[in-house]
Amino acid sequence: MHQRLLAALAALSVFTVVVRAEIDPKNFDPEIKPQDDFYRYTNGAWLRNNPVPASESRWAAFTILLEDNQKNLRKILDRASTATSPTAIEKQVGDFYASGMDEAGIDAAGATPLAPELARIAASKTSADILAGIARLHLMGVSAGFNFDSSPDAKDSNSVIAILSQGGLGLPDRDYYLNDDDKSKTIRERYVAHVAKMLGLLGDAPAAADAGAQAVMKLETALAEASLKRVLLRNPYASYHKMPAADLAKFTGDLDWPAYFRAVGAPVFTELNLAHPDFYKTFAAQLAATPVADWQTYLRWHLVRAAAPYLATTFVNENFAFYGTVLTGASELKPRWKRIVTETDSSLGEALGQLYVAEYFPPAAKARVLKLVADLRAVFRERLKTLEWMDEPTRTKALAKLDAFTVKMGYPDAWKDYSSVVIERGGPYVLNVFRARSFEVRKELAKIGHPVDKTEWHMTPPTVNAYYSPPVNGIAFPAGILQPPFFDAKADDAVNYGAIGTVIGHEMTHGFDDRGRQYDAQGNLTDWWTPESVARFKERAAAVVKQFASYEPLPGLHVNGELTQGENIADLGGVKIAYAALQKALEGQPRAPIGGFTPEQRFFLSVATIWRNNTRPESIRLRVTTDPHSPGEFRANGPLSNLDEFAKAFGVPDGAPMRRPAAERVNIW
């Protein structure tokens, strides 16, 4: 979930909650029949009564829980930043938080903290100097030019390899530069104006700022034209081109890559994955052909773009005016404390996470969710054994892959050590951020040439999300999502299986979606399916693509069925598996209705509840372009309209909107 997925407990504890995971009829719309629009039947009143706050781009079950988590993190950070005898961890996160909350000091500093790097950029005279400047920005965690990182070798999942991939854009996606519709043209105009304003804040005269913004747009458009579309990036083979490091010259000429690798602090290596060769041909051509002065402007822009949220109010406001208002529709900046809490979690997540878990995630909650995982794994195994479209050779390997699944729950077994990160309470705040990011960059690059640490987490404990990792062949659920409305130790099984059970099933199914199925039990990119099973899978996946491409979240704007197919397949499989697991859990148990609803009905009501959201039109457009997840209403109605189990639970007749025609119903897992 690339992506990402991606969401009021005043004193949060799974056992002392203010909010419960429950089915509340006050959120229903009794004017809508379940058979016509189940999402709005379940959430209609909630949608009317919960408009998007001015500071948000959407208001959803995920974001509400995130809001509650932030309140709890704020308590921890307020306490840590004022403690008289703090522990080492409390001092580090407390000092970071305090430096970010010093608005007066940050405003007084203006752009001064960037002065040394701006001076180095200004001193650049050659393309080699520009490449060195890109290396310095990369070491600060600033994206520019391209991306360089470490990654498990897709075909040798136990080894970490260097990877060069496409990047360097200031807009969210290549399509923002290339689409010809009026909305895209307007956004490009607003983007150029924004770049000019930011350059002006750095001291450029108006004419120079305008010319610089046009140069940035021209250069980024060239990089966008050479970038693969997101749909193509779903094919892992499209981003795998392993080669000797010396072969880079075949694509980029005489660029001094060894100097770049030394400057960014990478260890010596002899091979790498040049993920997107055509992009690097274009990058090298642009580095040679574009005037150094334009590259200087481009680097200054990407430096200030990355730094703006942590600088003086003038920078913060202008950054929000474009990336907040223009792109997502939010009209009000979030309070400073929320922004600093979020950045503390991003920069020192496992340090803050230790304090969070100790206070808000009891061991009993972890044990209960692990049982849910075991139940779903057992059901999925039975489903794999009986799938009529999968042949025996493929089935045998699929079962082995499921058996090899690893499960991370709540928080890491071993915590990341941030003791080498210098955090100065007196700031500058932006430099504290860059030092924390530099720590992560160095840590990631140091992995090159070493075995993969498959115990490592890629989300922080307070995160309201979950993920499946193909190279690890494992799922991870941070403590942050293991709370109402997704999980509640006091809720009945139907509600928990419908909510967190569906999410667990979703992540499990990712191992077998259009992308995940291409990795074997050990996490290696390899063709382990027979051609017959591949053909049958693709036939069913194509039906999912067609179904979701018909959905229209805004007039004239359709869901990208190809981009979202992996998440849609996982949603469909997740609900199916969680429902079957609930049936096993209920064996021998009384099935008395609660609140007038059977356990089966409560299960599906819980599914629809977790996807409820109000989203601004601007944010919908952004998400449809960049997000592999479908909008929430289709994540509820789309899968359920395929399921006989749902139709039976609510007596949905053939021909109703929530009952797809028999010839169009799709069932993969």
Q: Which residues are catalytic?
A: 507, 571
Q: Specify the DSSP class assigned to residue 271.
A: E
CB 113 within 8 A of CB 375: no
Tell me how far apart the alpha carbons of residues 358 and 363 are, in angstroms, rounded to a whole number.
10
Tell me how far apart the alpha carbons of residues 364 and 326 are, in angstroms, rounded to a whole number.
44
Strands, sheet with 271-274, edge to edge from the N-terminal-most edge strand: 147-153, 156-165, 271-274, 242-244
- Name the residue type at position 87: T
Nearest to 145 by CA among 283, 293, 292, 256: 283
* Measured CA angle at 588 (ends 651, 610), to 5 deg: 50
Provide Rg for the chain, Cα atoms: 25
CB 522 within 8 A of CB 482: no
CB 111 within 8 A of CB 310: no
- Half-sphere exposure (Cβ direction) of 21: Cα atoms closer than 13 Å: 33
Do the strands 156-165 and 271-274 form a parallel or antiparallel pair, or are they unpaired?
Answer: parallel
Residue ranges in 324-428 assigned as alpha helix (H): 327-328, 336-347, 349-360, 363-386, 392-403
CB 3 within 8 A of CB 628: yes
Burial 204-232 (b: 16+ CB within 10 A, else e): beeeebbbbbebbbebbbbbbebbbebee
Residue 519's DSSP bridge partners are: 525
Nearest to 521 by CA among 575, 567, 454: 454
SS3 content of the chain, % helix, strand, coil (to 5): 55, 10, 35
Burial 92-128 (b: 16+ CB within 10 A, else e): bbbbbbbbbbbeeebeebbbebbeebbeebeebeebe
CB 56 within 8 A of CB 63: yes
- Name the residue type at position 49: N
Nearest to 487 by CA among 636, 647, 368, 338: 368
CB 97 within 8 A of CB 90: no
Do the strands 58-60 and 613-615 form a parallel or antiparallel pair, or are they unpaired?
Answer: antiparallel
* Measured CA angle at 349 (ends 343, 350), to 5 deg: 165
Phi then psi for residue 614, to 5 deg, are: -110, 130
Phi then psi for residue 157, to 5 deg, are: -65, -5
Residue 153's DSSP bridge partners are: 156
Q: Specify the DSSP class assigned to residue 450.
A: S
Nearest to 160 by CA among 447, 434, 483, 528: 447
CB 306 within 8 A of CB 141: yes
Tell me how far apart the alpha carbons of residues 543 and 639 are, in angstroms, rounded to a whole number.
12
Residue 525 CA from chain centroid, whole number: 22
Tell me how far apart the alpha carbons of residues 510 and 571 are, in angstroms, rounded to a whole number.
9
